[in-house]
Structure 1
């Protein structure tokens, strides 16, 4: 029986594998996969395999998450305690009370479940905010596809910083190194080489140097590989099937809330014990007081607070995602509101990252290039006249080197031209297309034999390619002008190659600085011819490759690229400045380019000093700290100095947000309080190291995220203050009545109903309020500030006392005016609910800076008030909750209590505002008096 060569994944998961993918000889492997080593799969065949084998995804968790969340609500201590109280009531013959308690338990459990479920769904949606991308060759064209659409047989392109999306067998490797610790546990990167016929034992992570494994990360070099396993058939899928799903860890905020709740338990237990003991001593039935005490404990302890906060956080994070910012860690929301410094990259963050080659010049002359963005439409002009770039040998050689010395491309998608891969390399490809050069044909004719990948320390990259002359190769290099000139021995003009003298080198440097001062990014391109036998072994280390390739080069010319500033970035920088958040530009570009762009967007003056990376390296920490207060522009900054910059800013007490997109930015992103990665141009390594990912790579989105972070934290504090003040009021009502010898003011079910109504919609609405006016005009809060700081603890006690004493006063007054005990309890019940709703409206009023309460809050208050009216006035519910119709006089008393409290609160706010304004006037006057 013939063995199946392709194994398909069962229907519950996607993916496939080829038998012997790691051990077959490469020609046999390609034959079995029915793919080509240069052109890859036909796009139609790739779609057919995707439909047949399923997506390149791991199986989803099979756990019943919804049932687990529901069970977590049911098995909470307070819910079990309440169920025990219901069972006790049933045993004592109080069937109606038992059924009512059960109904309240169900409502509480469902409310908590809905909050947790919404939070869980939000977090899951954010975890899948952007399908990882993979660059593949299909039909001879480089295309970018979602990693989930990879199929066995795809030709995969890999560069430093890429996360490997599927298991793949190497066909080409240029100083490629892969970090496989996630699978093998080995921390050292694994060099990857091409092995035409592997040994039988060369399998698995850490041993198979010729195989790339899904879930690992390329940290150096580049390569080309054919996919041999996808989805659950990959090594990562095999391990995932062996590991049980781990619970989601709590955020630091949840730990703080749990700690707060535990501290409240002691107070609640003491109060409940006093209420029970005093009630029994006064002759109340012990089982009735037990029910009341247990219900009071449930109402007083905010056992649902962590779940509600998680829901508010998740919904807030969803709101941030609509503003093009994805929070990868819920705890980062707390830090966003504290940010004092934004260290921002220039390219793609402050600018559009739509690189366009606008000028190419060298000793042979200069040409201007028309067109905008990545569209290959445009022409070449010299002195205002159109020219044929391919008719100028040096220019044609430079354009060809720009394509071959890189992996980028451009593609037409959704009606527009976009970059595929690095935008700078895509711009070079676009310029070549304008000249009539086809990148895929060039790369087919000039096969890469060796490559020294770009490194921040060298600031250049180079390749050795086989030319059309047998035995002859051409070395091509591109990079920063000073870095390329350091490797050049000659320059090429119209009369041929000449030795590079000091005067010519100085003229080239001067021209590069002049172009950079105009806000242009400048690259230099060089090349040389060599024998194929003189090229280094492509399996050599990056250092050996660079030393062998990047020497004795011939300078060809300078390429000037324009990247216009984002239209909204100037306004965003001003918003950050008003919010007391300082913006610092940290870029690898030329200092003159950094200064020109900073001046154009209002970040700095045209004569602003620029600190260069090599100057930073020579400074001590003390000297560099002295520069941080007055310098906002840092150029030519290598990754280690970025990290040092973050460390020193944090030592000064700043809360730092740091942007980055490359693999070398990961240490600085981890070091920063808020690592901000680019969602479009960023590498997978940078996104994994960051806590915030920008979907649009836009600086303005960072400022929006800070505003949302401040608003979310404000809502959390408002939510906590409201819940704790209401719970304090309920406790004081019961405790005060017991100590004064009054009858029990509220029944068990009434307490539970108050807890359900007031801790439900209004409390959740307070957690969803939009940012208040002025939130970005105040300084950032201290990260050491607790939830009960800035007078929150005092407010909770004060408001709780007002609610409790006012409710108790209405209860006592109703009794004193001749009302029945049922009427007094109903009046206290209605008063307690209305007082808490009035407090919710006041908080919304304060949040809106004395405007109308937000509609979401006003609506929730109206619904809660309607539910209160139903419990009091609907005859079917009156026996259940022990309520009774109230005469007009008692309603007037209830309304007077609520309105009176609202008036006192408003008067207090007015008096406080007047006092604040008076103090603000007096302090300068007193200061002038002392000065005189």
Structure 2
């Protein structure tokens, strides 16, 4: 049955194809036989195995490095280090497990969208059954408020409208007509004779045949795509994995060389073994994963304050290298609240201010504000909008909302803006249906009865014989009819949805005797209104920020191409009218699709498969893709994207569970803010990697160079471990919370495959590490030979000077690491108060080791004199002193007072 194009078949052909009976439904015996072949439940794939997920957290290269460091720390007796590293490993594993487990649960959430029950006709009787028991051929009854329990071919409908936004992204309910026959390539959003699993009936009623169940439904295909989605490592995870492998190779090589050279020179095997192990501990930045986790967590907290909830920590950094944002239109770029923008009568066009359901906004004509209720014709239109309406406007916690149809909600808000809020009593109603495309009510106001009519202008204007012009009712001429029709076409090209309004006074008793058709004739055309789901206030500004940052915003929506194009032009995504439709996508190669998406940037009338394909094509061309959405149709693409973003207000639970980030305000501007945070976080990760590795290379090289030169070891193993503790902890952590640099959103995204050592960082780390090693070795030799010249054993003094130089060189170096572009003085030396505090604590800890007798015995140190401190501070702080001199010269002596004021 899955090969049938049910929307292409007539009702009779569908009944025959599915083998059903629309008079009595399926017999029980036939149902039982079909239940052996068909299943109306969604398969969520393999069972989640929590233990396997947890064990997988320990297979990362960096984690293996840390486990090695734990063993080494234990061997040298540094149990404090060993316990700290183990705690870091366990914390990272627990966080990773929780995130992956929750992500895997997203498929289970799809099951909750399936209606638990269905009303069917079987054996000639209407019964209520669990929806899982449905089979193809069952006859299902639908009413307003029901969830569609399977994919259905309608066989009768009366005013039936279904909210399919979860599947299509269409912002308004879709009118359904069982008699329609659609073309084979009809898009999902336009299959007017079908109803799909998981959607909701908003109006009317209908009967339908079950034609597809379970995984063969559209919803089932979405679940299947989510099962097939592969989990990809984020750019940060890839880089840290690469870094871990590099560190393993370097550590094993250098530490083995140092130990072997020392033994070859005659040092004891035990001493060089301990030195080699100590160097291994020093070389491995065991604090790196912890600092990464903390920095990401702090970024998450900052983003939460700006309405972005991050569910997966690495997603924060991924945002920083985003190159394409594939954004849904409805609710993200727009407010998802229909708003009346224009109101036209025969002699004037009125603009209406205000967006969304907030009942505030002025009516303006010819550039000046007017009181709409003082104009008789405008007042009549507002009365029609208010009373010919089944929705309700309600005040909610975070503003206003509409109960009912969003189009009718927009009409209520328009009336409320004018000050009209109290509805009249409805004496008679002719309901809207998909054939008439209009709704009429009879009301009484101040003793006069009126018929009020609203609906599609094309279905109202043929029944109008009069029109209001200059407050006078006159005969409606053909030229005037055409003027309204032309205005409707012009408004439609701007994506405005047009409704017509008409009325007529009624004789008190006579209207009760007339049928619907007789009642809806000889109407007076009052005017038309144009409404749209307007862009969010900050959307234009945010799109410009994206473009300045080298990020391509792409609108992907299930809405009509005209609507998508108009919104895209208004907010600056596109300057042209070119739109890629879902039908076109099917005929484009991957290469053609990639070029069109980046050129046209507007894609409309798409299916879930189209969205998923677009994301995959972009990723295949090395783009880092952020995908936003709220419906179930968005879930596969969100899960496939590098960073999936769900809407917190309008998003389904399925979408939220698939996403790495949730927007609590559903606003595109929040994504741009999150990208800003992501870039700042990655910059900070580079900063403390620069600091940690530069310092660690210095620690390894000072021992390596001393071994090559044949001098005594400049530091003892315990001193190496102390340097690691004092310099790798608090200063690196404080560097990770450095405020963002200026101009961070005025540069292009970094390449997806960029090494963490790109842009000269690797050379900087190596050169600074070499410099630190050389000055540490130099101070060791100065102290060592000075002591010998004065008849003392110079080893303790030399080691104390080298030991202290190594610490202070790294503490000065941490200020250089605050930026790759600016000096610490340009940024403001004291701007990062946490860093100042961390450096002061590290200095105090080092002074304790040098001057407290108890610690002197443990670390084999001696007190330092003034001239020794002068050499240490001059050598370790030489670079930053030069930068200060340059900063002062350029600012004060080159008469550039504005220099470095960031």
Shift, 1:669, TM fit: 4.1
Q: 2:807 matched to 1:820? A: no
Indicate yes or no: 2:487 matched with 1:511. yes
Structure 1 gap ranges (5+): 1-60, 87-100, 133-160, 174-182, 197-204, 208-215, 225-247, 453-459, 469-475, 528-554, 912-932
Equivalenced residue count is 700
Match of 2:718 among 749, 752, 775: 749
Partner SS, residue 412 of structure 1: strand
Q: CA distance change for structure 1 residues 338 and 734 in 2, over 3 Å: closer, same or farther? A: same
Counterpart check, 1:740 vs 2:675: no
Cα distance in 2, alignment partners of residues 677 and 466 from structure 1? 41
Please give the per-residue CA displacement for 1:30-77, whole angstroms capped at 9, x wherever unaligned: xxxxxxxxxxxxxxxxxxxxxxxxxxxxxxx999x9xx99xx999933
Structure 2 counterpart of 1:322: 305
Paired with 1:672 and 1:74, the residues of 2 have a C-alpha distance of 29
Equivalent residue number for residue 68 of structure 2:
77
Q: Report how far residue 689 of structure 1 moved.
A: 4.5
Whole-angstrom CA distance in 2 between matches of 1:342 and 1:728: 39
- What SS does the aligned partner of 2:531 have? strand
Query: Is 2:295 the partner of 1:309?
Result: no
Partner of residue 851, structure 1: 827
1:721 positional shift: 2.5
Cα gap change, 1:121 to 1:813, in 2 (>3 Å): farther
Q: C-alpha displacement at 1:781, in angstroms?
A: 1.2
Aligned to 2:688: 719
Deviation at 1:869, TM superposition (A): 1.6
RMSD: 6.0
Report whether the alignment pairs 1:575 with 2:552. Answer: no
- Cα 1:640–1:741, aligned 2, differ >3 Å: closer, same or farther? closer
Q: Find the counterpart in structure 2 of residue 254 from structure 1.
A: 237
Contact map agreement 1:364 1:492 (CA 8 A) in 2:
no
What is the CA-CA distance between 1:494 and the residue it aligns to? 6.2
Counterpart CA distance in 2 for 1:461 and 1:884 is 98
Q: Alignment partner of 1:742: what SS?
A: coil
Shift of residue 896 of structure 1? 2.1
SS in 2 for 1:403: coil
Which of 425, 446, 464 aligns to 1:493? It is 464
CA–CA separation in structure 2 for the residues paired with 1:821 and 1:669: 62
Q: Cα deviation per residue 1:781-802 (whole Å; 9 max; x = unaligned)? A: 1111121222222222222211
Correspondence for 1:102: 79
Q: 1:842 to 1:375 in 2, by over 3 A?
A: closer
Contact 2:694 / 2:765 at 8 angstroms: preserved in 1? yes
Residues 1:832 and 2:803 aligned together:
no
Who is 1:610 aligned against? 577
Return closer, same or farther for 1:678/1:105 CA change in 2, 3 Å cut-off. closer
Q: Which residue of 2 aligns with 1:875?
A: 853
Contact map agreement 2:234 2:642 (CA 8 A) in 1: no
Aligned to 2:754: 785
SS of aligned partner of 1:749: helix
Matching of residue 803 in structure 1 with residue 803 in structure 2: no
Q: CA deviation at 1:841?
A: 0.9
Change over 3 Å in CA distance of 1:777–1:357 after alignment to 2:
closer
Q: 2:410 aligns with which of 427, 435, 446?
A: 427
Give the Cα–Cα distance (whole angstroms) in 1 for the partners of residues 547 and 532 of structure 2: 27
Aligned counterpart, 1:703: 672
Kept in 1, the 8 Å contact 2:69–2:82? The answer is: no
Report what 1:296 is aligned to: 279
Match of 2:448 in 1: none
Asked if 1 retains the 8 angstrom alpha-carbon contact of 2:255 and 2:277, the reply is: yes
Q: What is the CA distance between 1:602 and its match in structure 2? A: 5.5
Question: What residue is the counterpart of 1:897 in the other structure?
Answer: 875
Equivalent position to 1:411, from 394, 405, 425: 394
Aligned to 1:24: none
Cα shift at 1:692: 3.6
Is the contact made by 2:582 and 2:605 (CA closer than 8 Å) also made in structure 1?
no
Give, in angstroms, the shift of residue 900 of structure 1. 2.7
Change (3 A) 1:263 1:773: same
Contact 1:122–1:318, Cα closer than 8 Å, also in 2:
no
CA shift at 1:832, angstroms? 0.8
Displacement of 1:610: 0.9
In the other structure, the counterpart of 1:560 is 530
Deviation for aligned residue 1:411: 2.9
Are 2:730 and 1:761 equivalent residues in the alignment?
yes
Confirm whether residue 886 of structure 1 aligns to residue 860 of structure 2. Answer: no
- Cα distance in structure 2, aligned partners of 1:510 and 1:738: 90
Alpha-carbon shift at residue 898 of structure 1 (Å): 0.4
Of residues 811, 816, 840 in structure 2, which corresponds to 1:842? 816
- Give 1:889 shift: 2.2
Distance 2:675 2:326 in 1: 14
Contact 1:678 1:695 in 2 (8 A): yes
The residue number in structure 2 matching 1:158 is none
Instruction: Tell me, in whole angstroms, the C-alpha distance in 2 between the residues paired with 1:684 and 1:357.
Output: 31
Separation in 1 of the partners of 2:481 and 2:619? 41
User: 1:781 is paired with a residue of what secondary structure?
Assistant: coil
Tell me if structure 2 keeps the 8 A contact 1:111–1:760: no
Alignment pair present for 1:279 and 2:262: yes
Q: Is the 8 A contact 2:622 2:752 kept in 1?
A: no
| Deviation of 1:882 (Å) | 2.0
1:195 and 1:564, CA in 2 relative to 1: closer, same or farther beyond 3 A? Answer: closer
Task: Please state how far the C-alpha of 1:732 moved relative to its aligned partner.
Answer: 1.0
Query: Hey, what's the Cα distance between the residues in 2 that align with 1:579 and 1:889?
Result: 51
Within 2, Cα distance between the matches of 1:466 and 1:334?
Answer: 57
Cα deviation 1:595-644 (Å, max 9, x = unaligned): 6656665666xxx4212455973985577767666645666677666666
**Residues 309-344 of structure 1 deviation map (CA, whole Å, 9 limit, x = unaligned):** 233223323322222223344444444233334444
The separation in 1 between residues aligned to 2:660 and 2:595, in whole angstroms, is: 29
Q: Is the 8 A contact 1:447 1:465 kept in 2?
A: yes
Tell me: CA distance 1:823–1:388, structure 2 relative to 1, closer, same or farther (3 Å): same
Distance 1:832 1:726 in 2: 8
Structure 2 residue 200 is the aligned partner of structure 1 residue 222: yes
Q: CA deviation at 1:127?
A: 9.1
With normalisation by structure 1, the TM-score equals 0.61
Question: Residue deviations 1:227-273, cap 9 Å, x none?
Answer: xxxxxxxxxxxxxxxxxxxxx99756335423432332233223223
User: d(CA) in 1 for partners of 2:847 and 2:436?
Assistant: 75
* Range that drifts further, 664-673 or 674-683: 664-673
For residues 859 and 413 of structure 1, the distance between their equivalents in structure 2, rounded to whole angstroms, comes to 46
Is the 8 Å Cα contact of residues 698 and 773 (structure 2) preserved in structure 1?
A: yes
State the Cα deviation string for residues 376-398 of structure 1 (Å, max 9, x = none): 68999999545899997x98787
Describe the SS at the equivalent of 1:253. helix
Unaligned runs of 5+ in 2: 1-49, 122-130, 144-148, 152-165, 168-195, 203-230, 365-369, 444-452, 468-476, 503-524, 788-792, 890-902
